[in-house]
Structure 1
Amino acid sequence: MIEEKLESMGIKLPNPPTPAGSYVPAIKTGNLLFISGQIPMEDGKVLFTGKVTDDNLETAQKSARMCAINLLAQMKRELGNLDKVTRIVKVSGFVNSDSEFYQHPKVINPASDLFFEVFGEKGKHARIALGAACLPLNSMTEIDAIVEFSN
């Protein structure tokens, strides 16, 4: 059902990105799935790079949405079926921001909005949005998530 919803939204999940370091993409413990930070990567290429400023806010929002799509791809890989998601518990968003940029929540909102759009009430979550001096591979954004699931 969730995958049909994604299809109706014009979203095709990519192959989940592989880690850029010495860690695993996700860990299951109990009924929680901890997903490592996802950057706006597709087919091995970072799609959105550089510092976020007031001038490129819309591009940064696209970057955050792509991170959320990669989080969905990791959920699918780990759970086999997105219908097993019972709650998006927490999202942490990091923004590769210029020192004079203060709109971090606005950058991460499209990721949060996507989870709500896809999962409805189950997509509402706790969140943090932070600025960072730099992010891996010079990506504009990086987002991780904690997800509750059923077996």
Structure 2
Amino acid sequence: MIEEKLESLGIKLPNPPTPAGSYVPAVKTSNLLFISGQIPMEDGKMIFTGKVSDDNLETAQKSARMCAINILAQIKKELGNLDKVSKIVRLSGFVNSVPEFSQQPKVINPASDLFFEIFGEKGKHSRIAVGVASLPLDAMTEIDAIIEFSG
């Protein structure tokens, strides 16, 4: 069912990115799945890099959406089926922004909106969106997630 929703939105899940450091992409415990921070990588290449400012807000929003798609790819890899998701519990969004930028929530909104659109009520989550001085590989955004699952 979720796969059909993705298809209707024109989203094809990529192979999930491999970690850029000494950690695992996901950890399951009880009925929670912790997804490590996902950056805007596609086919092993960083797509959105650099500092976020008022001048490139729309590009940064695309970066956040790509992070969300990579989170979905990691969930599918770990659970085998996105229909096992019973709740998107929390997203933590990090924005590689210039010091005077203060619209981090607007940058991360497209990621949240994608989860709302795909999962409906199950997609409603708590969230933080913060600006940071830098991110790994000069990524514009990084988002991690906590997911509740069943089965």
**3-state DSSP of counterpart to 2:14:** coil
Give the count of matched residue pairs: 151
> Where does residue 26 of structure 1 map in the other structure?
26
The answer for unaligned runs of 5 or more in structure 1 is none
**3-state DSSP of counterpart to 1:87:** strand
**Cα offset, 1:108, TM superposition:** 0.2
Q: State the 4+ residue runs in structure 1 displaced beyond 2 angstroms.
A: none
> Where does residue 128 of structure 2 map in the other structure?
128
The answer for unaligned runs of 5 or more in structure 2 is none
**3-state DSSP of counterpart to 1:7:** helix
> Where does residue 79 of structure 2 map in the other structure?
79
**Cα offset, 1:23, TM superposition:** 0.1
> Where does residue 48 of structure 2 map in the other structure?
48
**Cα offset, 1:50, TM superposition:** 0.1
> Where does residue 7 of structure 2 map in the other structure?
7
**Cα offset, 1:68, TM superposition:** 0.1
Q: Which amino acid aligns with 1:117?
A: E
**Cα offset, 1:37, TM superposition:** 0.1
The percent of aligned pairs where both chains have the same amino acid is 83
Distance (Å, rounded) in 2 between the aligned partners of 1:5 and 1:111: 16
TM-score where L is the length of structure 2: 1.00
